[in-house]
Amino acid sequence: MAISVMLGKLAEGMWVSVAIFAVTLVFSLPLGLLVSFGRMSKNIVIRTIVKVYISIMRGTPLMLQLIAINFGPYYGLGIPNTPGWKNMAVAIGFVLNYAAYFAEIYRGGIESMPQGQYEAAKILGYSRGQTFFRIILPQVIKRILPSVTNETITLVKDTSLAFTIGVMEMFTVAKALTASQTSLLPLVFAGVFYYVFNFIVAFVMERIEKKLNYYR
């Protein structure tokens, strides 16, 4: 197989990996913030439910979660899987998993803020919502950015776990080409892709971190 054809097939898988990455970030970051609120809730029922959810998501392999979400409706409820369900299952699995990790990162950042800032904002007439979104959250984002960057880089590599339920992302395509062509070249190209992708992510996050330096 010509290298150009091989790269074309890998590019198709690459866009699937990029789509998984983008969907996960877009939905798990805001969901993680909501989950962190539940984790810090004064309502013991909400707090307990959220703690159990986070414990399950962090305590079991993402691969197992993807399998459960993909096959659970069929084997548990007898609902037949539609052709596009595995793509939806990947999105749901990744978003729920990463939201749990981001929730704990948010919680650590929020709880690290001095109580005096809340009290000062209250004296100035800010509501609780205004205090959080205008004063606390911008500082929290600056503090948690290195941890978020680490999780984001991990996400790039974790997209390869979509192969578990038959989604043809970059790594799956590379493995198939390696087997059919009896050559390690597809895996080498895949490795280069993951490295470049992570390099770009790290570069972008570093730029964002520098722009937020004025919150010091």
What tens digit of pLDDT does each residue of 28-44 get? Answer: 999 999 999 999 999 99
Q: Residue ranges of the domains in the chain? A: 3-215
Name the stretches of the chain with pLDDT < 50. 215
**CA–CA distance, 143 with 186 (Å, rounded to integer):** 39
Within its chain, how far is the Cα of 46 from the centroid? Answer: 23
Does residue 3 sit in helix, strand or coil? helix
* Nearest CA among 30, 169, 5 for reference residue 98: 30
The CATH architecture that domain 3-215 belongs to is: Orthogonal Bundle (1.10)
Q: Which two tokens stand for residue 49?
A: 């439910």
Q: How far apart are the first and last CA of the chain?
A: 55
**CA–CA distance, 216 with 202 (Å, rounded to integer):** 21
Within its chain, how far is the Cα of 48 from the centroid? Answer: 23
Beta-carbon count within 10 A of 53 CB: 17
* Whether 41 contacts 51, CB under 8 Å: no
Q: Tell me what pLDDT residue 58 has.
A: 94
Q: Tell me what pLDDT residue 176 has.
A: 86
pTM: 0.90
DSSP 163: G
**CA–CA distance, 48 with 92 (Å, rounded to integer):** 22
* Whether 37 contacts 104, CB under 8 Å: no
Q: Tell me what pLDDT residue 214 has.
A: 60
What does the chain come to in residues? 216
* Nearest CA among 14, 5, 4, 1 for reference residue 173: 14
